[in-house]
Amino acid sequence: MPDDLDIFEKAVLIASKISGRQIKLIQINPSSTSIYHYKCKGRLSREQYHYDNALCTKCGNIINTHFNAAQNIRDKGEKFLKSINYPFSHARVTV
C-alpha cells in the first residue's frame, strides 16, 4: 500500500478490496450542518455553553446537535451523488 495516502484513502482502498466494489470517497462541506434540523429544516436554538442539544424552533423537538450535523452531512452527500448520477444501489455516504 502506498505510504503517501492519507488515512481515509487507505480505508477506502481496504474497504474496496474487502467488499469487491469500487468505493468512492467524497468531501462534503460541513458548514451550516449544525444550524438546521435535518428532518423539518427548522433552525436550532442553542443556549450558551450547552451545545450538545438544541431546541428546534420549527417543530419544538430537542435535537442532539452532533447526530443532527451527521445526518445533514449524509443528506448533502446523497444530494451530491444524485446530482452526478452516481449509481445509488451501493452508494453510502460516510461522515
pLDDT over 70 at 54, yes or no:
yes
Model confidence at 53, in pLDDT bands (50, 70, 90)?
very high
Sheet with 50-56, side-by-side order of all strands? 44-47, 50-56, 62-64
What is the domain partition of the chain in residue ranges?
Answer: 1-30, 31-88
CB 48 within 8 A of CB 31: no
Q: In the chain, what percentage of residues exceed pLDDT 90?
A: 42
Model confidence at 71, in pLDDT bands (50, 70, 90)?
very high
Question: Who wins on pLDDT, 89 or 77?
Answer: 77
Q: Cα–Cα–Cα angle for 54, 69, 17, nearest 5°? A: 155
Joined grid coordinates for residue 87: 449509481
CB 26 within 8 A of CB 8: no
Joined grid coordinates for residue 84: 452526478
pLDDT, mean over the chain: 85
